[in-house]
């Protein structure tokens, strides 16, 4: 397999010549009837040498925003001057996508905990192996697109191991204001690829089961910025988001959880700045005779918020991220805070 855009890109069953684009469905498993389960793949092999990048989405089958990002890069962008190779994998979890489920509908396995996979192991490991060995292993870096799970919504941000120089470069090049640093869990695509010398970052954007055009456009700008940084699109420029904070310690981020069951009245939106002591939400009973107030423990950003407004005690309400005084000032200048 080749990582030089001046040479043919090869995979199990085919090759893509320099200056050529191929679109095909690649078999990763079989159904109960013995029919092939195939993922859609687009390979753009540029006419000039350069790095190889993979773009992937929908390892969780109900996470749709990233699918549209990868599709538009593959099908709508002009690739005449690409230096290198772009591997576009818009739907990794085909079985989950067709049933609109998060996990593989095979014992509810999480495909994003199965990488790099094994050729002679479980179904999820075999699928992961086929994807990883053919389209991740040949790459120099990768962008893996995700959303929150159903019932919650994430602020647009990057997750990356900032202790890895390659991943840190990639995360900064994508141009988000918020970067959450961490190695990630075992079996995650970004975790295993980065450990394998293929710096990979996760892009979190919005919620499951929908397209959110504003976030999709933001992500497309980030892809262009990355391609500029690595010379795949030498005509583009690297994007600066205006401000940035890198969250590295567990003390700077927390999930706030409900201490009472009831109906949630959220006072802020995803991405809002909330000052220490302000009311993030209220939990009330159906008569509104009992009320539990949830206040901000520090000044920070709502990186993730509840979309389904009903909770049991212990359910997550929001993912709250601490920011410094300088970032607070810039955020207030750029967008202000929303109060209700």
Q: pLDDT confidence of 324, banded at 50, 70, 90? A: confident
| Other C-beta atoms lying within 10 Å of the C-beta of residue 196 | 15
Q: pLDDT value at position 250?
A: 66
Parse the chain into domains and list their residue ranges. Answer: 9-245, 251-334
**Above 60 in pLDDT, residue 332?**
yes
Looking up tokens 């925003």, which residue turns up? 65
- Can you tell me the mean pLDDT for 12-22? 96
Q: pLDDT confidence of 279, banded at 50, 70, 90? A: very high
Q: 104: which DSSP letter?
A: B
Fold of 9-245: Aminopeptidase (3.40.630)
**Above 50 in pLDDT, residue 2?**
no
Q: For residues 328 and 130, what is the distance between their CA atoms, to the nearest angstrom?
A: 45
Q: For residues 161 and 243, what is the distance between their CA atoms, to the nearest angstrom?
A: 20
Mean of per-residue pLDDT scores for the chain = 93
Q: pLDDT value at position 125?
A: 97
**Above 70 in pLDDT, residue 64?**
yes
Reported as a single tens digit per residue, the pLDDT across 137-171 is 999 999 999 999 988 999 999 999 999 999 999 99
**Above 90 in pLDDT, residue 5?**
no
Q: pLDDT confidence of 338, banded at 50, 70, 90? A: very low
CB-based contacts of 217, cutoff 8 Å, min separation 6: none
Quote the pTM value: 0.92
| Other C-beta atoms lying within 10 Å of the C-beta of residue 159 | 23
Q: For residues 177 and 203, what is the distance between their CA atoms, to the nearest angstrom?
A: 12
- Can you tell me the mean pLDDT for 173-194? 96
Closest CA to 320 of 274, 262, 258: 274
Q: Which has the higher per-residue pLDDT, 151 or 96?
A: 96
**Above 90 in pLDDT, residue 331?**
no
Angle between helices 165-174 and 213-229 (to 10 degrees): 130
Instruction: Check for a shared fold between 9-245 and 251-334.
Output: no
* CB 255 within 8 Å of CB 316: yes
CA atoms lying within 13 Å on the CB side of residue 90: 18
Q: For residues 217 and 76, what is the distance between their CA atoms, to the nearest angstrom?
A: 13
Q: Which has the higher per-residue pLDDT, 64 or 250?
A: 64
CATH 3.30.70.890 is the classification of domain 251-334: no
Burial of 324 (0-12, 13-18, 19+ CB in 10 A): exposed
């Amino acid at each position: 397999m080749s990582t030089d855009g001046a040479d043919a890109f090869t995979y199990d069953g085919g090759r893509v010549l320099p200056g050529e684009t191929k679109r095909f469905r690649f078999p990763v498993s079989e159904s109960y009837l013995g029919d092939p389960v195939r993922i859609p793949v687009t390979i753009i092999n540029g006419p000039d040498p350069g790095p190889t990048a993979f773009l992937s989405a929908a390892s969780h089958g109900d996470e749709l925003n990233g699918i549209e990002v990868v599709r538009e890069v593959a099908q709508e962008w002009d690739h005449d001057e690409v230096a290198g190779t772009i591997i576009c994998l818009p739907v990794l979890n085909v079985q989950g996508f067709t049933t609109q489920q998060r996990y593989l509908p095979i014992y509810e396995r999480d495909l994003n905990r199965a990488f790099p996979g094994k050729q002679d192991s479980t179904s999820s490991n075999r699928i992961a192996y086929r994807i990883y060995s053919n389209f991740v292993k040949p790459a120099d870096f990768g962008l893996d697109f995700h959303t929150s799970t159903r019932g919650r919504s994430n602020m647009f941000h990057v997750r990356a191991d900032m202790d890895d120089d390659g991943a840190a470069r990639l995360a900064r090049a994508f141009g988000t204001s918020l970067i959450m640093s961490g190695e990630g869990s075992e079996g995650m695509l970004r975790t295993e690829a980065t450990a394998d010398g293929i710096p990979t970052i996760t892009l979190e954007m919005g919620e499951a089961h929908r397209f959110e055009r504003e976030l999709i456009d933001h992500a497309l700008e980030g892809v262009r910025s990355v391609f500029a940084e690595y010379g795949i699109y030498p005509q583009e420029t690297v994007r600066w988001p205006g401000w940035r904070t890198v969250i590295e310690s567990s003390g700077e981020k927390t999930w706030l959880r409900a201490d009472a069951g009831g109906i949630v009245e959220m006072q802020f939106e995803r991405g809002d700045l909330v000052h220490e002591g302000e009311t993030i939400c209220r939990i009330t009973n159906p008569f509104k005779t009992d009320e539990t107030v949830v206040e901000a423990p520090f000044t920070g950003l709502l990186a993730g918020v509840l979309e389904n407004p009903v909770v049991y005690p212990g359910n997550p309400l929001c993912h709250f991220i601490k920011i410094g005084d300088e970032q607070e000032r810039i955020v207030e200048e750029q967008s202000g805070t929303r109060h209700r």
